[in-house]
Amino acid sequence: MADMAYKRNGEILAGDALPTGICRVAAALEYNGTAYHGFQIQKHDPQTVQGYLHLALSEIANEDISLVCAGRTDAGVHASNQVVHFDTSAQRPSQAWLKGVNTHLPRDIRIHWAQQVKPQFHARFSAVSRRYRYIISDRKTRPGIMAGQISWSRYALDIVLMRAGAKHLIGEHDFTSLRAAQCQARTPVRNIESIDFYHLGDHIMVMEIQANAFLHHMVRNIVGVLMAVGSGRQPVGWVADVLAAKDRSAAEVTAPAAGLYLVAANYPASCGIPEFSPGPHLLPAKLG
């Protein structure tokens, strides 16, 4: 790419204009994260979702592509609607990006739409909120068929207790107690807009959580705390105590990555992002 001045530290910036001949393309992808060491590309580690997507996009564009995502996912975490954007001098119809890139991706990573967007669009900074879903089985034995795609609780879970505990987390709070010790976010303050729980059959539960943004391991740590409450091992009020402590050691419980899915990055209508079903596809189109 001829003009790289609009990049900073390898990240493509939002702006009012791009260099002549450059267009911005957004895409959404889904992936089973079981085999990958997270989304973000890492030095000397090719086994990342971004690493494979980078290679596939570069092949179709016939130039080196750098991309930005709506939210980084950890090792073993899945996505049904991960949004990315990239800038390119390649002129391709949307179907060429879609079909061409998918032919170069592993079968557990797929783009499901791609289109040119305004230069002002930014997959990360234009998003007003993100939504995750966490799927848990609490049957007596660990699932075999869905291993790696749903989590498991060895204890029976009470959805009423989990809903009551979750109420302590709604709103803007300092989530120091519920982020990873190695989290590098400048501030631990986040605003959780909603936490909902749904039963699918007798022994499958889905937690859906939406916030303006999330900290490293924040969702998995929240699930771990609420599972401790739902199993009766901790009282409902313990959730408020953990939050108030502003200390990660107050609740060193982290739910496994297997059940976690990034299902939505929400943008203003002016961004022109297509409507989508949150997924993942193993869930019904409408929960509740």
Mean pLDDT, rounded, for 164-183: 96
Residue 70 shares a structural domain with residue 182 = no
Residue 122 shares a structural domain with residue 166 = no
Q: Considering the domain boundaries, does residue 286 fall inside one?
A: no
Q: Considering the domain boundaries, does residue 239 fall inside one?
A: yes
| Domain termination site, one of 126, 146, 161 | 126
Residue 113 shares a structural domain with residue 223 = no
Residue 122 shares a structural domain with residue 134 = no
pTM of the model: 0.92
Residue 133 shares a structural domain with residue 257 = yes
| Domain termination site, one of 77, 93, 126 | 126
Q: Is the pLDDT assigned to residue 229 strictly greater than 80?
A: yes
Residue 75 shares a structural domain with residue 194 = no
Q: Domain holding 173: CATH number?
A: 3.30.70.660
Domain that holds residue 114: 7-126
For residue 16, the model assigns a pLDDT of 58
For residue 20, the model assigns a pLDDT of 86
Q: Considering the domain boundaries, does residue 288 fall inside one?
A: no
Of 265, 146, 248, the residue nearest 206 (C-alpha): 146
Q: Considering the domain boundaries, does residue 106 fall inside one?
A: yes
Residue 104 shares a structural domain with residue 19 = yes
Residue 182 shares a structural domain with residue 247 = yes
Q: Is the pLDDT assigned to residue 44 strictly greater than 90?
A: no
Residue type (1 letter), 26: A
pLDDT tens for 238-263 read 999 999 999 999 988 999 999 999 99
Residue 96 shares a structural domain with residue 153 = no
Q: Considering the domain boundaries, does residue 58 fall inside one?
A: yes
Q: Domain holding 80: CATH number?
A: 3.30.70.580
pLDDT category, 51, cuts 50, 70, 90? very high
Number of domains in the chain: 2
pLDDT category, 216, cuts 50, 70, 90? very high
Supply the mean pLDDT for the chain: 91
Residue 117 shares a structural domain with residue 171 = no
Q: Considering the domain boundaries, does residue 11 fall inside one?
A: yes
**Pairing mode, strands 189-199 and 78-88:** unpaired
Mean pLDDT, rounded, for 117-136: 96
Q: Considering the domain boundaries, does residue 151 fall inside one?
A: yes
Residue 211 shares a structural domain with residue 178 = yes
Token readout for 61 is: 């564009």
Mean pLDDT, rounded, for 263-276: 94
Burial state string for 42-71 with b = 16 or more CB within 10 A and e = fewer than 16: eeeeeebbbbbbbebbbebbeeebbbbbbb
Nearest-angstrom CA–CA distance, 105 and 206: 29
pLDDT category, 64, cuts 50, 70, 90? very high
For residue 13, the model assigns a pLDDT of 52
Classify the C-alpha dihedral 246-251-252-256 as positive or negative. negative
Residue 172 shares a structural domain with residue 200 = yes
Active-site amino acid positions = 74
